[in-house]
Amino acid sequence: MRPMRISDIGEFGLIQRLAQRVTQAGVASSPPGSAFPLVIGIGDDTAAWRTSASLELCTTDTVVEGVHFTQETTPWKDLGWKVMVANLSDIAAMGGTPLYALVTLGLPQSTPVAAVDDLYDGMAWACQEHGCVVAGGDIVRSPIFFVTIALNGYTHETPLRRSAARPGDLVAVTGPLGGSRGGLEVMLRGLSVEPEAADSLRRAHRHPQPRLREGRILVEEGVLAAMDISDGLTDDLGKLMAASGAAARLETWRVPLPPALERAFPGQARSLALAGGEDYELLFTAPPAVMERVLARLPGSAMVGQVVAGEPGSVVMTDEKGQELPFRPTGWDHFRS
Amino acid sequence: MRPMRISDIGEFGLIQRLAQRVTQAGVASSPPGSAFPLVIGIGDDTAAWRTSASLELCTTDTVVEGVHFTQETTPWKDLGWKVMVANLSDIAAMGGTPLYALVTLGLPQSTPVAAVDDLYDGMAWACQEHGCVVAGGDIVRSPIFFVTIALNGYTHETPLRRSAARPGDLVAVTGPLGGSRGGLEVMLRGLSVEPEAADSLRRAHRHPQPRLREGRILVEEGVLAAMDISDGLTDDLGKLMAASGAAARLETWRVPLPPALERAFPGQARSLALAGGEDYELLFTAPPAVMERVLARLPGSAMVGQVVAGEPGSVVMTDEKGQELPFRPTGWDHFRS
């Protein structure tokens, strides 16, 4: 039997189906007693919620099939999880709390309905885990598949900024890096890696965690500068420094590595950790006294360098002897040929 | 000389260029004294603004090249205007006021930089005219071109709802319909139409207006049910009735037509007005006493039918003699084959 396609049920059949799905998952309306209750959810021209005096946050993130993922490496449900997490991670990078998501789907007519069901299950799963709600969206026909989420959140504190790093700050990350990239390499290259390590890296690629709790702890302890690591540490550190008008020394040997990455890629683990993206750990800077308090509260985190005066955006990498490394691994520019 | 392409300037060159563009247009930051001041705009992980106690609105709308527009019928600047207006119109349909937009661009590497400049000029133009701000967004590589906008707004009143129409209400629209579809037909079919009428219809297609002022007047006068007409009157009236669990009689001969449409399409103007989308007038229902006050304040608007008890979502069309018309023009379902 041919699987049911989007063209079989039409736009309204599809909207009804997906609305039902997020309702059943308990992520179509705000919880009772919410401080920001959802007044209008799926099915009207806009979503609406009541606000009190706070700082409203809004972010958006998109994945395009063939550019950001393939079906071979990311099943639909994991894709739904990942695109929601990419947005949650941006809210985490401000020290905020997520509230309401609008989901835009660009779908070819031949898309199997089961694929969209799975995608929504993955998004609903991320919403369940992190207390946010699917409040609406838009579905459009498209020759290629893409998903865009716009996610609103809030904070009552001073949000973490990319522009707030200052010379004298220490640089740190909330957890080990390179696992997602390692998982991708294992899958794409079909490497023969011990099964337990391979599983662990695949999971890192398909099921990353947004560091919402960690972001709020950073704010509580007085950290001012942070961003999430989506494009790779060296690249994102360069962006953080560019936004702050400062430079950084990155002590590459201090970057924490997932044990599975070291087992699977004995000689390459460190460069995968420096260049690989999509781990969604937070990158932050703070004066030493603040950093000490943060590291004590977040045992998974690690100091990896210093902010220094210098060419804005430049990053010098050093090895354990303090020697400058001769090259800088290039990050992702999605457009340069 | 080959025009400069996105691949020549890269992601960061492009972001810088576009940020500069919206800053110069005065639509990158909130005006002094704003009740909802923008605290973080373009360049960080999320946008952020301060809120007071109000109802927050959020909507999203997407256009995909080859599906929703072609370069032949919609130049880039007009496309920028139109996609922003599609979102502004959703805020208008709630009786709200727009605040902050996040813009997602899906771009092939070969996209000319001048095209993206023009697109942004068109979006900035719509923001200038309607007092909203581009607060950030996301740029991704994509094999096909698309734009998604997520737009936040607010209201201090009861928002207009799709689900609030009741039997006994009268049905009305805020202005003439079919101009946008007429303009598209003139361009696609290369019809020989008198130049003034052709110009007027092309303008209706390329430069529609969001009915923000009208939406707020509806709310002030106590209207409860409305939506914007983006997919065509009969189709959208069906959706309004489905959401309200009611049926409607549509007196087709009362639907106001743009004079240019009647001149250019003598025999077809009315069916173009019933089936054509993208005029972005508001469709609303209200009890007769409320409707009388609204029609007095909005001289361009017209009563076009009644809400009745019946099969939810069904629409019966009648001619000037009260005879039922034998068929219902089908609306747009973007997925049905």
Between chain A and chain B, how many beta carbons pairs sit less than 8 Å apart? 247
Looking at the fold, whether A221 and A287 belong to one and the same domain comes out as: yes
Share of chain A above pLDDT 70, in %: 97
Q: pLDDT at position A312, please?
A: 95
Stronger pLDDT, A93 or A132, i.e. the higher one = A93
- A276/A306 same-domain check: yes
Residues A103 and A67 in one domain: yes
* Pair A307, A176 in one domain: yes
Q: Is the per-residue pLDDT at A281 higher than 90?
A: yes
Instruction: Indicate the SS3 state at residue B251.
Output: strand
Answer whether A214's CB lies under 8 Å from A288's CB: no
Tell me if A119 is assigned to some domain. Answer: yes
Residue-number span of the structural domain to which B151 is assigned: 6-155
B89 and B230 co-located in one domain: no
The answer to whether position B141 is within a domain reads yes
Do B27 and B88 meet the contact criterion of CB atoms below 8 Å apart? no
> What average pLDDT is seen over chain B?
91
Q: Which residues of B touch A68 (CB under 8 A)?
A: 140
Whether residue A4 lies within 8 A of chain B, CB to CB, comes out as: no
- On whether residue B326 sits in a domain, the answer given is no
DSSP B188-244: HHT----HHHHHHHHHHHHS----HHHHHHHHHTT--EEEE-SS-HHHHHHHHHHHH
List of E strands, chain A: 38-40, 47-51, 54-64, 97-107, 133-141, 146-155, 170-173, 225-228, 247-251, 282-286, 302-308, 315-318
- B138-165 pLDDT, tens per residue? 889 999 999 999 999 888 888 899 999 9
Alpha carbons A101 and A111: distance in angstroms, whole number:
23
- Domain identity same for B105 and B215: no
Per-residue pLDDT reduced to its tens digit, A192-203: 899 999 999 999
**pLDDT score at B230:** 93
pLDDT of residue A327: 61
Please give the Cα distance from B207 to B203 (Å, whole number). 5
A-interface mutation test, from B6, B45, B224, most A Cβ less than 10 A away:
B45
More confident position, A158 or A87: A87
pLDDT above 70: percentage of residues in chain B: 97
Cα separation, A170 vs A308, in Å, equals 9
Q: Which pair of tokens denotes residue B66? A: 């080859």
Question: Is B228 close to A45, i.e. CB distance below 8 A?
Answer: yes
Same domain flag for A97 and A171:
no
Q: Is A131:A91 a contact under the CB 8 Å cutoff?
A: no
Same domain? For B47 and B120 the reply is yes
Residue where a domain terminates, one of A155, A174, A194: A155
**Interface touch A143/B66, C-beta < 8 Å:** yes
Question: What is the Cα–Cα distance from A190 to B231, expressed in whole angstroms?
Answer: 48
Residue B280 at interface with chain A, using a CB cutoff of 8 Å: no
Shared-domain flag, residues A43 and A65: yes
* Inside any domain, residue A324: no
* A159–B contact, CB cutoff 8 A: yes
Cα–Cα distance for residue pair A259/A280, rounded to 1 Å:
18
Residue B8 has pLDDT above 70, yes or no: yes
What's the CA gap between B40 and A227, in Å, rounded? 14
Count of domains observed in chain A: 2
Residues 6+ apart with CB under 8 A from A58: A150, A151, A152, A153, B46, B47, B48, B58, B100, B102, B135, B136, B150, B152
> What letter does residue B172 receive in the DSSP assignment?
E
Find the mean pLDDT for residues B107-119. 90
Contacts of B135 in chain A (CB under 8 A): 58
Look at residue B265 in the predicted model and tell me its pLDDT.
94
CB-CB contact of A96 with A153 (8 Å): yes
* Phi (first) and psi of residue A276, to 5 degrees: -75, 140
Asked if residue A333 lies in contact with residue B11, where contact means CB atoms within 8 angstroms, the answer is: yes
Distance from the A192 Cα atom to the nearest Cα atom in chain B, whole angstroms: 32
Name the residue with tokens 């609008």: A102
Among A131, A155, A179, the domain boundary falls at: A155
Confidence at B44, pLDDT banded by 50, 70, 90: confident
Is B328 a member of any domain? no
CATH number, position A195: 3.90.650.10
Residues A44 and A145 in one domain: yes
In a domain, A190, yes or no: yes
* Residue B281 domain flag: yes
Residue A31: pLDDT band (50, 70, 90) is confident
Substitution target in B36, B38, B58, B139 with the highest count of A β-carbons within 10 Å is: B58
A82 and A13 in a common domain = yes
- pLDDT average, residue stretch B234-258: 96
What pLDDT score was predicted for residue B328? 55
pLDDT for B64 equals: 95
Q: In this structure, what CATH number is given to the domain that contains residue B131?
A: 3.30.1330.10
Backbone angles phi, psi at A259, to 5 degrees: -50, -40
A121 and A182 inside one domain = no
Tell me if B46 is assigned to some domain: yes
The reported pLDDT for the residue numbered A49 is: 83
Q: What is the mean pLDDT of residues A252-280?
A: 95
Given B126, B155, B184, the domain boundary residue is B155
